[in-house]
Chain A
Amino acid sequence: MSLAMNIVEIATQNGLAENAGKINMVELEIGSLAGVMVEALTFCFEAATKGTLAEGAALQINDVQAKAKCTKCGTLFFIQSHFDDCPDCGNPAAEIIQGMDLKIISITVDE
């Protein structure tokens, strides 16, 4: 819920700064390892928008698949979990370089 409230706060602040009448859509980017349950977030988002500029706004969610870099051989590879081994050398240690973020990309507003 606090994530949803943060999203609504950022969206409405940006909407107000542009003198928008209404926010119709909020575009998010969610990494596959960001620890965010999309269903829960969508549910909370609707509740968090009540009485705000973003009330009734749709959520557009762009998934970002997590990527890691092997600490041994440097191979870049997509990962499903925090503990995937390097597909090239089998090394279990990899640095996650993408897919941990939860970002608000844009809002679409009535002009």
Chain B
Amino acid sequence: MCDTCGCSHSKISLTVKAPGAKSIHDHYHSPQKKIEIQEDVLSKNNLLAQENRRFLKNKNIRTFNLVSSPGSGKTTLLEKTIIALKKNLSIAVIEGDQQTFRDAERIEATGVPAVQINTGTGCHLDAEMIARALQSLPLQDNSLLFIENVGNLVCPAMFDLGEDAKIVIISVTEGDDKPLKYPGMFHAADICVITKTDLSPYVDFEIAACKENALAVNPRLKFFILSAKTGEGMGEWLDWLSHR
């Protein structure tokens, strides 16, 4: 590395200095060429997501990408949703987690096929992982597919998986200002589910404030407010899913 200009030079180095003059920085630089690219960094992911979308659409499979912070109750909501809908609908699940098969095992216990993707140190699912998971899932035409993303309110917002809708889940045990703190996710989502409402009497979470904050970030958001544990508010959610 050249100390003067910071360039990298492995070839000839030449210093030209006229008598009495100050040192002139001059040495060999390999000819440089600028190549224009103008490409979205996520273009490969987006292309694969489009392929996933086309594949799922051809089979008329409605796909929902569930995103939230860890511990919001995504898996419990899924279990209860599956138990309520599986009589009339074919359902499959893609589970994303950094480690363990626990969530996929919980989903399989409800009697629907599930495939687990362990991302290791990765903090989100991407379209390529979904493409691979789709190959190993027994998928029925005219069915529902849920993708439970890694618990993380930041990175999953950036990655299109080929889903019909991103559903962001926030429980009342979190802060009602979360939409303002993690606006990227609430902006990217189509649906917002506020869960664990059975705990509302014990926490300071204001549902109205949370909705207002989320709408400030994304005025198009549609809300479902429910408790998967007691079943309160589940009817509207199940109805919406059945008619998608």
Residues in chain A within 8 A of chain B (CB atoms)? 1-3, 6-7, 9-11, 14-15, 18, 20-22, 24, 28, 33-35, 56, 71, 81-83, 92-93, 96, 101-111
Looking at chain A's contact residues, is the secondary structure mostly helix, strand, loop, or mixed? Answer: mixed
With A20-B33, A110-B32 known as contacts, the answer to whether A104 contacts B219 (CB < 8 A) is no
Contacts of A103 in B (CB 8 A): 38-41
B37-A10 in contact (CB<8A): yes
Among residues of A, the one whose C-beta sits closest to the C-beta of B29 is A110
Among residues of B, the one whose C-beta sits closest to the C-beta of A83 is B216
Interface size grouping (class) on chain B:
35 or more
Q: Shortest 10 CB-CB distances between A and B: which pairs? A: A82-B183, A83-B216, A93-B219, A111-B31, A110-B30, A35-B184, A102-B41, A82-B217, A111-B33, A82-B187
Q: Which of A7, A81, A107 contacts B34 (CB 8 A)?
A: A107
Seed contacts A3-B41, A10-B44, A104-B37; 7 additional CB < 8 Å A-B pairs: A3-B42, A15-B35, A18-B35, A93-B219, A107-B35, A107-B37, A108-B32
Contacts of B154 in A (CB 8 A): 35
Shortest Cβ distance from residue B236 to the other chain A in the assembled complex, whole angstroms: 24
Contacts of A22 in B (CB 8 A): 8
A102-B33 in contact (CB<8A): no
A6-B35 in contact (CB<8A): no
CA distance A92 to B186 in the complex (A): 15
Q: Which of B36, B37, B157 has the most CB of A within 10 A?
A: B37
CA distance A104 to B44 in the complex (A): 13
CA distance A69 to B136 in the complex (A): 43
Contacts of A11 in B (CB 8 A): 37
Among residues of B, the one whose C-beta sits closest to the C-beta of A111 is B31
Check B131 for interface membership: any CB of A closer than 8 A.
no
What does the 1/0 interface line of B35-69 toward A look like (CB < 8 Å)? Answer: 11111111111000000000000000000000000
